[in-house]
Amino acid sequence: MNYKKIFSEIDVELENFKDNGTIANYIPELSIVNPTKFGVHLTTINGKHFSLGNADEKFSIQSIAKVLSLTLAYKLESEKLWKRVGVEPSGKPFDSLIQLETNKGIPRNPLINAGALVICDILISHLKNPKKDFIAFVRTISGITTIDYCPRIVASEKSTGYRNTALVNLMKSFGNIKNDIDVVMDFYFNLCSIEMTCKELSQTFLFLATSGVLPHSKERILSKSKSKRINAIMQLCGFYDEAGEFSFKVGLPGKSGVGGGIMAIYPNKYCIAVWSPKLNKKGNSLKGIKFLELFTTKTQTSIF
């Protein structure tokens, strides 16, 4: 398939697209990002690359990193994991306290903020040096040794992280956070601060298109069953309370972040990453979703 030609066609179609979204200005460091940036990169499972726009510029992947922490926690905990976090779509904002109270401190899924905080708590219990060990894991699965946390974004997140602090305290009151709250929060903010380019993002998540095998090293990082289940969670929960709309329009499992990034998987074919900082009211990249909707329609590569 001529992805380069398809990218160019969609780029022309989007010239008159009204990107009425807003950047994530509640995180100071994200509020200064150029809102007109736009990048796309697709990596096939046999190592072919296709780019458009600002695909080689680093940005904060934010909640997309939650799929990576989930991957490692699932690898370490196996099915015990689901005793502390569910697999259901939230149907609520990603930082809802009401839902967490109703469910007695058990988050609906691992990709909303509360669920990701539980995953961080689990990793802290398993890892000797959580931040160092986790970024080493990310570098292993991506094959890219330069991927790292961004201290500026960590500090920025900490300065405004009141709601996340409320979530972790509420879960601690229900006994679903085992470690020190400050340690959990620090790890969580670092997790969300990871920076990648669209190209790096599409390479990093390619293992979910190959049933858990790292394409660059042929190492199995997850079983086929676990890989399938992570894709299923992304399909159902990867876009907060807009997951159904994303499935309806795009038809791929994926994950978004409030930095404007989206990563999506087409099993046995490719991983595609898009970046456009302006978000809709649900916290997802407005132009990014439109690009992916046009892309899967033109290529007929929806999983449905």
CA 65 to mean position of chain CA atoms:
5
For the question of residue 188 being annotated catalytic, the response is yes
Catalytic residue chosen out of the listed positions 51, 63, 247, 256: 63
Structural domain includes residue 246: yes
Residue 6: C-alpha distances to residues 110, 117, 277, 297 (Å): 34, 39, 22, 11
The per-residue pLDDT for range 182-200, each reduced to its tens digit, is: 999 999 999 999 999 999 9
User: Which residue range(s) make up the domain with 97?
Assistant: 3-296
Enclosing H/E stretch for 210: none
Which residue shows structure tokens 């022309």? 12
The per-residue pLDDT for range 227-263, each reduced to its tens digit, is: 999 999 999 999 988 999 999 999 999 999 999 999 9
Read off the pLDDT of each residue in 127-147 and give the average, rounded to a whole number. 98
Instruction: Please give the share of the chain, as a percent, with pLDDT higher than 70.
Output: 100
Structural domain includes residue 16: yes
Specify the pTM.
0.96
pLDDT of 88 above 90: yes
Residue 269 CB: number of other CB atoms within 10 A? 16
What is the model's pLDDT at position 240? Answer: 86
Catalytic residue chosen out of the listed positions 3, 74, 188, 270: 188
Structural domain includes residue 193: yes
**3-class secondary-structure state, position 49:** strand
Catalytic residue chosen out of the listed positions 40, 118, 184, 258: 258
pLDDT of 106 above 90: yes
What is the model's pLDDT at position 163? Answer: 94
Angle between helices 113-126 and 65-77 (to 10 degrees): 50
CA 110 to mean position of chain CA atoms:
11
For the question of residue 240 being annotated catalytic, the response is yes
Structural domain includes residue 53: yes
Structural domain includes residue 302: no
| Closest of 238, 260, 251 to residue 94, by C-alpha | 238
Ramachandran class of 204: left when φ > 0, alpha when ψ lies in -120 to 50, beta otherwise: alpha
User: For residues 68 and 205, what is the distance between their CA atoms, to the nearest angstrom?
Assistant: 8
Q: In this predicted structure, which of 26-30, 74-78, 294-298 has the lowest mean pLDDT?
A: 26-30
Read off the pLDDT of each residue in 39-54 and give the average, rounded to a whole number. 97
Let me know: does 190 contact 145? Beta carbons within 8 Å.
Answer: no
Local confidence band at 92 (pLDDT 50, 70, 90 cut-offs) = confident
pLDDT of 179 above 90: yes
For the question of residue 258 being annotated catalytic, the response is yes
Structural domain includes residue 304: no
CATH number for the domain harbouring residue 140: 3.40.710.10
Contacts of 143 (CB under 8 A, 6+ apart): 203, 214, 216, 217
Structural domain includes residue 208: yes
DSSP H stretches of helix in the chain: 3-13, 28-31, 65-77, 97-102, 113-126, 130-142, 151-160, 162-173, 181-193, 198-204, 224-237, 243-249, 286-299
Number of domains in the chain: 1
Q: In this predicted structure, which of 89-93, 102-106, 112-116, 162-166 has the lowest mean pLDDT?
A: 89-93
pLDDT of 95 above 90: no
Catalytic residue chosen out of the listed positions 51, 60, 66, 199: 66
Structural domain includes residue 195: yes
pLDDT of 94 above 90: no
